[in-house]
Structure 1
Amino acid sequence: MFFRKQELEAPVPPADPTGLREKCRQAELPEAVGIAVESEISRMEKTDAAVAEYSIGLNYVETLLSLPWNAVTQDNLDLGQAAEVFDGSHAGLGQVRERVLEHLASRVLHSKRQASLLIVDDEPIARSNLRHVLAREGYAVEVAANGEEAMALLARQEFDCIVTDLKMDRMDGMQLLEAARAVAPETKFILVTGYATVDTAVQALKTGAVHYLSKPIDLGELREAVRSALLSRTHRYSNRSPILCFVGPPGVGKTSVGKAIAEALGRRFYRMSLADLRDEAELRGHRRTYVGAMPGRIIQALRSVGVRNPVFMLDEMDKIGQDVKGDPAMAMLEILDPEQNARYVDRYLEMPFDLSEVLFIATANGVERLAGPLLDRLEVVQFSGYSEGEKLDIATRFLLPRQLRGHGLTSPYPTILPEALVRIIREYTNESGVRGLEREIARMCRKLARLRLDGGAEAVAAPVGSEGAAVLLGPARFRHDDAKAGGLVGTATGLVWSETGGEIIFVEATRMRGPGQLILTGSLGGVLKESAQIALSFIRSNAGTLGVELDFFEGHDIHIHIPAGGIAKDGPSAGLTIAVALVSLLTGRPARSDVALSGELSLVGRVLPVSGVREKILAALRGRAAMVVLPVANAADVEALRESVADLPPVVLVERVEQALAVVLGSQEGAPCTE
């Protein structure tokens, strides 16, 4: 309900020196807001303009008048155009693209759905006439002869409004109203009767009817009653905006995808960084009882965009701090809860503001630092790292043209060959995303810009290939281990995940005389040390089956080392690799170096699933591994990756350690269960 002009005109005094009442009339504020504004203006008129209370009241009224209480942008519901926006601005989106298009599809269905009506009357002529009249209004109309037939229809489909006679056989209109409200509480009811009395009208309205009409029915009155009953249908079916949380490593395009969503929907976009947020009052606002008070960041952002349904990106949510001024993460609960944010109360406003139509998108590098109650309100969309092919596509289509334009290399464009970009990706970046790749391309463009400035266009006329990129950028900054052919005793090739993506590692094991200790080196974390203990215990308890001497641990120390000791390592995915390295050491059989493994181990020899499968397989592809061994429980992850990356190495899925040993060490009991 809005604050109507005639309601405001009565109390207006002859003079309005501030002009606030005129702004209030033009703003068409909700009724509660209009009353609050009028009350504040009246208080200001009794206050000296020189005192602080006057400026506090003036700021408060101007803030209320500047907020977009009713301003919204209409969503673009063209799925084809939305798909073109994503495909034209991003590559490798995968499930993110599909999730946004699914959200749009649900909105399209809601917008195209006809209002459905049910006519219930025991007189055939009355049913037919009402059906004809209301169908001409564009409604989808069904009919029933009595309450029992109406309940049978309600069991099969939902109706927005039911127009029912009061007096009917078997189940009258009042009984139908009571029974239908139990199964369809959102359905609106209009009761029609030829025996209208004050008592029955009061009873019908108390039971839940929204209108009560007497026969003979005035068709204009009926149309208006139905139209009035369906006014709330738009809000009821305006699908609540989801609270999405984009989780992934830096540089994979989380923020730019948020901008693409806003462009696809035709909404305005606002980004707010939470990395420096420490004070809860920055979100919830300050009480307006002192000079300098202001609304919280959320309300200020909505005032700046001018609508109440923007795409609102809460960036770096996992970086929110906490101190003595409160926990801002807990203040986010009301903002991000769809059950509460329709009546969000900022401390400065002291009245509800509807945030339910805001499309909130949070971003985080990981969910580990997010509080449980906050994570429960988020729909996590995982962003995986890009494959080498996807990085090359992104660099060719987006990064390189943008950097060439940004550095003035447009007349004409220099020729950068794909092999140069591949070398930059492999030797000058080490990341899951493409942020570092864009920096290196920009560095190369600056070198070319200086060459063109010093020697003219002829100086950069030759195509820049792999060697040219190395000359421009200098020595390689990163190297990645390759899974080379051949084999060594006591050495196994593993796959690990890190914040920069997947990597190939080597697990080395050796045995020496000693008191029987297990020595672990390589900056290993607690979980990784436990994996080594489990692998050793499994081998000792199954020594006979594995072809290992029963007393191999007596009088000997076993040393397990994972190179690159300056880098901390931890996680439950190296148990299988450690077990293979130990069996290779203790049986004297060389392990194939070109077979990369990943999997956790149980004490009874089961291979347990791991995470980061996409990044690990891509690391094996980059390292030219001939084969990858993974747990059978990760079969779905492998199939999902095959849909986006065609040239994957062969993947063997195993359920037990013996099956992995058969692949890496040669013939052994147990065979791979799946390939």
Structure 2
Amino acid sequence: MGFFSRFEETAEEREVPASTQETLRNSIEAADLPENIRRVALDEIAKLDRIDPSVAEFGVGVTYVELLLSLPWKESSQDNLDIENAVAVLQQEHLGLAAVKQRILEYLASNINHHVRKSVVLVVDDEEISRDNIAYALSKLSCDILKAANGKEAVHILENRKVDCIVTDLKMQQMDGLELLDKVQTSWPDTKLLIVTGYATVDNAISALQKGAVHYLPKPLNLEVLKVTVKDILDQKKHACSVSGPILCFSGPPGTGKTSIGKSVANALGRKFIRLSLAGMRDEAELRGHRRTYVGAMTGRIITELNKAGVNNPVFMLDEIDKIGQDFRGDPASVLLEILDPEQNRQFLDYYLDVPFDLSRVMFITTANMVDRLPAPLRDRMEIIPFSCYTLSEKVHIGLEYLLPRQMQAIGFADNDISFTADGMSALITGYTRDAGLRSINREIGNVCRKVNLRILQGETLKPVVIDKSDIFDLLGDTRFVSEAAMATPRVGVVAGLVWSESGGQVIYIETAKMKGSGQLIMTGSLGDVLKESAQTALSFLRSNAQHYSIEDELFSTHDIHVHIPAGDISKDGASAGITIVTALLSLLVNRPLRGNVAMTGEFTLSGRLLPVGGLREKILAAQQAGMKQIILPEWSKQQVLAMDEEVVTAVDLHFVSSLDDVLPHVFAE
């Protein structure tokens, strides 16, 4: 009896795989899958019928079919097309960043316009009854319907009206459907054309499709099938228009709100938000997936995240795109070329999935600190939107209105238990932070709140607590950052320069010295080739104009000149220090001290001209934070600077110059 019992259990176990395959077949029939995906899934199940369930490949096949069933092939979230809502969301969640918000609203407005615009369908048929029946059926699609009796009338309409789709009969007088198709392909290639005819033959169908028709339907016409077909054509065309714009790339220093702006875009549109960090990614299989021939193969992160989201149109943020790597496992940047190109990502191929997945409905947004690190072909596919640093007043307002309430909530306090005065917040920002963004400020506010919380628990103070400037010094100790300009005294051969780095604007001092030697130029401070060339250019200019600047000629042959930029453990490069170096060298060679509260930036040429450089907003605010009184900038940058916020323009005294002679009155001490 026990033997037969075991035999019956084995039989039941053998029935399980058949039941599993039947369940998968039923799921496929019930699911609304694209036809090509449905065929692939059924073919995979047919393979399972020939595989022993105990073999590992059986489980792999079942997992693959389940993946095909779970992916959002047609599931999309409904977009919020209210532009006023987008404005309100961006204003509510972010202070400042006016230029960034404006560009994002323009981007959203163009997408919204494509969605709300009514599509236009042109019905061409020489039989009036047929023409009216088709027009009536298509009128339920909420689109504008135009009618023409033949190809010539259709061409006349096309010359005066933009049409999205044409439904035309094949056999007509004056100009038939194939002739109209040729004309449309030549003059209006963006217009889609569908042919219906009572003379349906294989040759006609092949000829029409080869010439560019998107579909071919026989008569007698099933109007419901026609309506569904035209709807699909219009939807595809509308989505193709809405995502045809460039991919947005948010660039700027850390902590300036790039990721949070991406979340706000998703909130404004009512879409799901996905964030994928690319920092340190070296294997392209992480994006494209592994082939199923490998043990433990899986889909890439793109398909995996879309599967988790359950929709095919989320806002997908690719964070830290400038920090991807490259080694023997491939180049992830080459995969991004396909992912981020609207013309290619309609047929994105994940190696594990092995069938194309349409990414055209996904709104991709990327972020980077240094876009110069990106490969040129990848950078060409994106529109760079720079995120600049915040002004002092913006930081104070954000600290009081946004960051402090979050820190209060984190430690369980009510809104009014701890408050900062404006002077207290300003003292915290200027004395204990130096970054262009908000992360250090948020960290120091949290530090203050925790210390106050401990004092409250120990009975040293009572709620509510108002923190002023003096309380900041008591809680956080001596200031970590001091005003460089306040400590600087006029010195020979030492001048302040303004540079832009990955973390924002910075003030650096360029130091020079001369000593007995043979006329060598010594450069130290981890300097790059461009910076070294700028120093050589500056020295050559002064040598060629020695008489003009009253420099003794023998100095160049009897002395070595040393140019040093402090912080030698940090690599430095760029042409923006050119004017700073030539000014420091001139001060050294004529032995005249330079003011310590004047900073400058600009590329200096061998002919003595001053060329514009980038990052001026960050440099101006860095100079203000360092206590500088005057800034010297290239004349060619004047319009760009004056177009900035008033707080930036009035932060310090700005002098726009075009040559070294214009610089000297502002820098030499009395």
Deviating more after overlay: 552-561 vs 469-478: 552-561
Report SS of the residue matched to 1:362: strand
Deviation at 1:105, TM superposition (A): 0.6
Matches within 5 A, 1:61-80: 61-80=65-84
- CA shift, 1:328, in A, is 2.9
Report whether the alignment pairs 1:506 with 2:509. yes
Equivalent residue of 1:604, what SS? coil
The RMSD of aligned alpha carbons is: 3.8
For the 8 Å contact 2:275–2:319, the answer to whether it is kept is yes
Superposed CA deviations along residues 615-639 of structure 1, whole A, max 9, x for unmatched, are 1111222234333221233234313
Q: Over residues 545-594 of structure 1, what are the superposed CA-to-partner deviations in whole Å (9 max), with x where a residue is unaligned?
A: 33434444243333434445555433211111121223334445544443
Would the aligned equivalents of 1:484 and 1:594 in 2 still touch at CA under 8 Å? no
Pick aligned residue for 1:571 from 574, 588, 602: 574
In 1, distance between residues paired with 2:521 and 2:200?
A: 92
Contact persistence 2:288–2:351 (CA under 8 A): yes
SS at match of 1:482: helix
1:313 paired residue number? 317
* Compared CA separation, residues 352 and 177, structure 1 to 2 (3 A): closer
Which whole-Å CA distance do the structure 1 matches of 2:137 and 2:71 have between them?
A: 42
> What are the equivalent positions in structure 2 for 1:380-419 lying under 5 Å apart?
380-410=384-414, 412-419=416-423
> How far apart are the structure 2 equivalents of 1:361 and 1:401?
29
The Cα shift of 1:416 comes to 1.3
**Percent same amino acid among aligned pairs?**
47
Question: For residues 207 and 326 of structure 1, do their structure 2 counterparts lie closer, same or farther at Cα, with a shift above 3 Å needed?
Answer: closer
Q: Deviations over 1:495-527 (max 9, x none)?
A: 122333222233344444443333444444333
* Matched residue type, 1:542: N
Write out per-residue CA displacement over residues 180-238 of structure 1, whole angstroms, 9 at most, x where no aligned residue: 32021232447899x98989977777755667999xxx9x9899868844541221121
Q: Do residues 341 (structure 1) and 345 (structure 2) align?
A: yes
Equivalent residue in structure 1 for 2:638, among 630, 635, 638: 635
1:334-369: CA deviations, max 9, x gaps? 222222211112222211111111122222222344
Moved more, 465-474 or 97-106: 97-106
Unaligned runs of 5+ in 2: 1-16
SS at match of 2:419: coil
More displaced stretch, 125-134 vs 84-93: 125-134
Structure 1 residue 256: Cα displacement: 1.7
In the aligned structure 1, how far is the partner of 2:255 from the partner of 2:285? 31
Q: Pick one of 563, 586, 601 that aligns with 2:604.
A: 601
AA aligned opposite 1:548: I
Aligned residue in 2 for 1:673 = none
Contact 1:247/1:381 (<8 A) preserved: yes
Is 2:356 aligned against 1:352? yes
Q: What letter is aligned with 1:546?
A: Y
Gap change, CA 1:200 and 1:341, over 3 Å in 2: closer
C-alpha contact 1:160 1:230 (8 A) present in aligned 2: no
C-alpha distance in structure 2 between counterparts of 1:551 and 1:208, whole Å = 79
Q: Which moved more, 1:467-476 or 1:583-592?
A: 583-592
Matched, 1:625 2:628: yes
| Structure 1 counterpart of 2:434 | 430
Equivalent residue in structure 2 for 1:657, among 626, 640, 660: 660
Cα separation, 2, equivalents of 1:429 and 1:311: 33
Could you give the per-residue CA deviations for residues 70-121 of structure 1, whole angstroms, max 9, x where no partner exists? 1110111111111211111122333332232122111221122122355789
Q: What is the distance in 1 between the residues matched to 2:36 and 2:643?
A: 52
1:87 correspondence with 2:87? no
Residue matched to 1:4: none
8 A contact 1:408–1:449 mirrored in 2 = no
- Could you tell me how far apart the structure 2 residues matched to 1:137 and 1:289 are? 45
Return the alpha-carbon distance in structure 2 between the equivalents of residues 312 and 369 of structure 1: 21
Alignment equivalent of 2:544, drawn from 541, 560, 563: 541
The range that moved more, 349-358 or 577-586, is 577-586
Decide which of 252, 255, 260 is 2:259's aligned counterpart.
255
The answer to whether the Cα contact below 8 Å between 1:67 and 1:302 also exists between their aligned partners in 2 is yes
Match of 1:557, as an amino acid? D
Conserved 8 A contact 1:528-1:570: yes
Give the drift of 1:393.
2.0
Offset from partner CA, 1:262-292 (integer Å, 9 cap, x none): 1111111122222353333232222223553
Q: Secondary structure at the match of 1:610?
A: coil
Contact kept, 8 Å, 2:522 with 2:561, in 1: the verdict is yes
Rounded to whole Å, the distance in 2 between the matches of 1:636 and 1:230 is: 50
The residue that corresponds to 1:10 in the other structure is none
| Residues 10-89 of structure 1: pairs in structure 2 closer than 5 A | 19-89=23-93
> What is the CA–CA distance in structure 2 between the aligned matches of 1:289 and 1:130, rounded to whole Å?
50
Rounded Cα–Cα distance in structure 2 between residues aligned with 1:641 and 1:56:
59
Q: CA deviation at 1:597?
A: 1.2
Give the partner amino acid of 2:42.
E
Cα deviation 1:48-77 (Å, max 9, x = unaligned): 322222212211111111111111101111
CA distance in 2, matches of 1:199, 1:508: 83
1:481 aligns with 2:484: yes
Alpha-carbon distance between aligned partners in 2 of 1:200 and 1:38, rounded to the nearest angstrom: 30
Amino acid in structure 1 at the alignment position of 2:474: V
Of the candidates 531, 548, 571, which is equivalent to residue 528 of structure 1? 531
Alpha-carbon shift at residue 487 of structure 1 (Å): 4.7
The reply on whether 1:465 has 2:468 as its aligned counterpart is yes
Q: Output the amino acid matched with 1:248.
A: G
Aligned residue runs from structure 1 range 256-271, under 5 A: 256-271=260-275
Kindly tell me: are residues 131 and 665 of structure 1, through their superposed partners in 2, closer, same or farther at Cα, counting changes over 3 Å? farther
1:275 corresponds to? 279
Say which SS state the counterpart of residue 418 (structure 2) adopts: coil
CA–CA distance in 2 between the matches of 1:41 and 1:145?
49
- 1:555 matched to which residue of 2? 558
Is 1:240 the counterpart of 2:224? The answer is no
Instruction: Determine which of 646, 650, 664 is the counterpart of 1:647.
Output: 650
Higher mean C-alpha deviation, range 434-443 or range 480-489 = 480-489
Distance across 1 between alignment mates of 2:448 and 2:553 = 60
Select between 341-350 and 174-183 the one with higher mean Cα deviation: 174-183
Which stretch of the first structure deviates more once superposed, 412-421 or 302-311?
Answer: 412-421
- Counterparts of 1:303 and 1:628 in 2: how far apart (Å)? 53
Query: 5+ unaligned residues in a row in structure 1: which ranges?
Result: 1-12, 668-675
In structure 2, the residue matched to 1:182 is 186
Residue in 2 that maps onto 1:452: 456
